[in-house]
Structure 1
Amino acid sequence: MNLPVMRVLLAEDDPHDAELTLERLAIAGLDVEGVIVNNEADFIKALDSGTFDLVLSDFHMPGFPGSEALRIARSHPSALPFIFVSGVLGEEHAVDMLKEGATDYVLKQRLDRLPIVVQRALDEARERRSRHDAERRLRESETYFGQLIDALRDYSVATLSLDGTIESWNRASEWLFGYPAEEVIGRPGDMFNLPPEPGQPTERPLVERLAEISTGTSLAEERWLMRKNGATFYASVVTTAIFGNGGAVRGFSRIVRDMTDTRVAADLLQMAKEQAEAANRAKDRFLAVLSHELRTPLGPIYAAAQALDLRQDLPPECRRSIELIKRNVEVEARLIDDLLDISKIVNDKLSLRLEPTDLVAILNGIAEIFREEAAARHIELRYTPLPYPVIVQADPARLQQIIWNLLKNAIKFTPRAGEIGITMYQPMPGKIAVDVSDTGIGIPPQALKRIFDAFDQGEEESAQARGGLGLGLAIASSLAQRHGGTLSVRSEGQGKGTTFTLTLDDPAGGDVQAPAPVETPASPSTHRPATILLVEDNGDTAEAMQFLLAEYGYEVDIAENVAAACACIDAKRYDVLVSDMGLPDGDGIDVLRHYAPAADQIAVALTGYGMESDVRRCLGAGFAIHLTKPLDIDHLIDVLQRDNRS
């Protein structure tokens, strides 16, 4: 193994002794390169100019004693190991020289000891240099981190003793708390805590809380603290145990950051959220009340129109007027429904009841309804139904609402002698599409991107001329998305017509579906007509509904409030309860509880409120069905007959 060359500075006035000394080291296997001097000047010059590992020196030299060589070597920055090699060094001189800093000594008569002493001296020197280097690096590291901690402007960094007193305090701590270091060193670390509020328990002592984190965990908290000037601030406080070399806790570090701006922003955000939620609840309540107040007068109007429509002796011109009244009441009811629907959509409260639905049947029914309306406006409605059903997963009522809104929109914006087309096709495997196209006024390119925005009706003049709230397309688009589909639009521009495309998943992949079996309506029941208790505080609505139900063969009693309804229920058995929800002395649920329907009885809730929560409340209370005003008597009759058949 190649050992490194050891350079030795040898102060010796006898060349023969110098040769023997170096030879002894060489015999021991040390690769030695020696420089021999015999006077002070050459010794100092050699120290300054060479890199040596070791100094060997005779003790007695003419004009240059070994003690002087030791003094010069000790004062030199190299701090080399210094070993005396002398023939006459007495015990007393040896002890003195060791006290002065000599590493060791060897008598010339015992040069065989020299390699061992040299090796030990070199090992000690290396260990000493390593220790000094580590200490130097530690000092530099402490200085660096001390400067770094002092440079942290946003973080107060302090150390606490085991009993919780402050031991160190960085510059940011002075800025944050307003105390200079000399005013806090040695004081309790909880001196910045706010006193407890009246009636609040006193906080545990800091020493107890510090003891909980002595296992190595950190204590992180957010709390209000106080500055020197009495001002308070909201702070993030992290306290961590500091461990010594033996693993025992020697203290704690505490880092504090001012979080007041974040806390204020969070409080403002929470306040804004609560205000928005309160405003949203107020809006929902307003819409519900508005719905009720608008529907209530529509109820008797629609019921009276339906009653007149049942008369066989009505002149044709009067029948046309009745149809006009019914049609406009339906339009008003639809506007109210649109307002409620858009509120449900915005608040993500619109629920769907998906079931296998025949898209062809939906289109057939709607086309039949709109064909007459289109003809009245001299618009041709082109639609050729498929000869087989196409089954999709959908909410039938909501799917019908999408197509209904598209056709309403097409009729509104198509002039006389125009055309409207309904086409169903398969754009790709697994998808089914319905196009509703028209030859109407078209849509300018700049309006296409906002056509599905609520309350947007395109050009202002066009919107004012045709009326409406601009909710139909927004609702249709949202309903399409909630069905897992899309609603898109294309138009070549103003005056060039518009095409809306509804695309849905087609589970059958376009395969022909077998027609569903048609249920044969049961023959009319021959048992006695059902008895109905109608609870309605609006006299006009009650009178019109009583007349209509009587025309269908039902026996109807009227109660105008909860007390009257309970009295009727106590006096007579009713097959059906139809109750308004808003009554002067309570609500329909109070009546329902007293009615307590048996298995062969049915309870129907009738309200002017159409919010989802109102529907859930009614059904959850035990009503079999929820109907909104203005009531379509055909719908109610269908419910009653369906229940009778079951």
Structure 2
Amino acid sequence: MEVILGAWEEFAKTITPPAFTMDSKALRNHASFMLGAIAADIGRPQTELEQSLKSRGLAPRGPGDTAAETHAMARLASGYSIEQLVSEYRALRSSVLHLWGEVTLGLPTDMSDVTRFNEGIDQALAESVARFAMITKEAAENERQRLNAVLEAAPVGISVAEAGGKVILCNPEYKRIWGEPPTPESTNEYGAWQGWWADGSDKDGQPLQSHEWALVRALSGQDALNDRVDIQPFHDAGERRAIVLNAKPVRDSNQNIVGAVVAQMDISHQVKAKEALRESEAKFRTIAEAMPQMVWSTLPDGEPDYYNRRWYEFTGVRECSTAAKMWDGILHPDDRDRVQAQWQHSLATGETYEVQYRLLHHSSEYRWALARALPVRDASGKISRWMGTCTDIHAQKEAEDELREASRRKDEFLAMLAHELRNPLAPINTAAELIKLVANDERRLHQASEIISRQVSYMTDLVDDLLDVSRVTRGLTDLQKETLNLQAVVYSAIEQAGPLLEARNHELRLRIGPTPAFVSGDKTRLVQIIANILNNAAKYTPQGGQISLVLEAKPPTATIRISDNGSGIAPSLLPHIFDLFTQGERTPDRAQGGLGLGLSLVKSLTALHGGWVTASSEGLGKGSTFIIGLPLQAAGESPAGGDAAVTRPVQPSGPVRLMIVDDNTDAAESLASLLEAKGHQVVVVGNADRALAHASLGQMHAFILDIGLPDMDGYSLARRLRAKPETGNAVMIALSGYGQAHDRVLSKAAGFDYHLVKPTDTVELTAILNQLGSPQESS
């Protein structure tokens, strides 16, 4: 057996294709096992039928695998083909016959053994081939099943065609894409498929011809890769789908084309998603560009990737510049560290970003902006980008600063008001205490009375200023306009300011032209305007200073220029000099007080006359100049005036019977005591109902009525008294805390003859009462 195996092994090496693909030991082990089985069979007697069956490879087999089948499985596992397996058996048969034919070997040559041996080889070959074929068939079926599974599960449509174009295989995805397409027999039938190029090339949008389909080009030997087309499925003529085609030819061992395969990927969802994204981005950009705010966005790491046009217009930065480093050049240096720290905190935590900073405007000035940004998160909650805005809040910041400044001035004003009110209260209180102690000392009583009178007059002036400002700023001032010679108005203002000018020993230089300067205005208010500025000049100029007043009339405007060599106006104060509550610094040299209302009142009253006022100063210690401008009016032109004052017959003087109606008991009783001391007969009541029901109502010559009564105001009470026959001709005197022209008009309409403002001017009231006398005395 060893000789036969050695000779067979050498012979097997010469077989084409080579059969010897196992190592020598494995080859010999399997061959000797099979040869041993054949030799054992030769030694067993057999019938002619058995011999015949063996010759045809049909011998009955026992249980389990035969030696030949084991041999076949071993050869298949080592990579043999069926041709190589058959060649191996032929080589074995040839080597045995060749060996037995060698007479020189001295081996016995029994032909029956040779026949039996060949029959054994035939039987082994049949068994080996049968097992080999069975295993190969099973492997092929398994491969086919795997291929079918791949085709079924593939997310792309796959179809296979023969060389002539007949489609022999298509998977479910292919059918879904095309909607149960027909099965063509050749490429001539490919015209039924409708598609249009969608690759962005010159032929984009054009229909595909039959020869342009990827499968047809693959059958011609081309590799058709990444064809982007839109197709119309067979089941829906109104639908379009976007697909990508990849096709390659299938070749045999001789490189002949035997067919082609095409893979088709449906990208309709991706295309629609991209289109939706483009539309969404277009909408976003449209909205962002339309917004009046600056809009920007960044990547998750904070790197900017978008700014709208408003941002570029505001900053003046070159468009399309988005680098983060450019922020260093447009943020105010004092804000950079704070802004950067806040931005990094938001990036690290995902918290809303909100900060105010100064941004360099294209005008080269820094303007305040409010920046806000929110994170945009994906479905998993991860930040995908940041969306932010910048809002120009410069005007708001300036307004806030102005409000703070106005609040500060208001607080200073209130403090000054408290101070100015306390100043006269102290001597009034002292004088009142003095009166209690020196009741029999006429000189000291007179002195205390003078103190109280002066201080009350000063407090009245303060309250009048407050009321004036309130009325003017709310537009409630009614001007009693008439044609006035501005020269006379100026002299009246100088006369009013004269005591203060003389007290501070100032020199007033006048330059007033001889030509009259006529204006339309309210004389009282115009005198108030000029006197206010003169008083200011006197207050803010050290003792013995120089003040000049120049009146010029150059149509269409008359100007009054008042200059002084006083303390001047600080540059920081000058822009606010006419604002409410604004006042220069008080110094020990300032003999007069004040609330800082005068210049605000000057500006408002001048504007009501159609004029203007300006202030200038070269700085502290260099004096100041105020210029008032008023529109001139031709002489003799008289504006419409108000109603004429109501006059009543003056009766002979003498004691008067009168009633005071006031809910302030102290005020009413003190006034009654004063009038009784002057010889008049006075009745005091606390409200309107008691006044109307008083027994001596018809005996009264005059009524002094408080306007602010609790149950019925003074206006209504006056009307009721005028309506009564017994009191209809009595003198009605209004007593009110309001003394503006509007208030006087209301009291006049209610039937009052006189309107007095609290605190009561006793001199004026005494003069009114002295004009009246009792009917008994005058008869």
What TM-score, normalized to structure 1? 0.46
What TM-score, normalized to structure 2? 0.39
Q: Greater relative contact order: 1 or 2 (C-alpha under 8 angstroms, separation 6 or more)?
A: 1
Greater C-alpha radius of gyration: 2
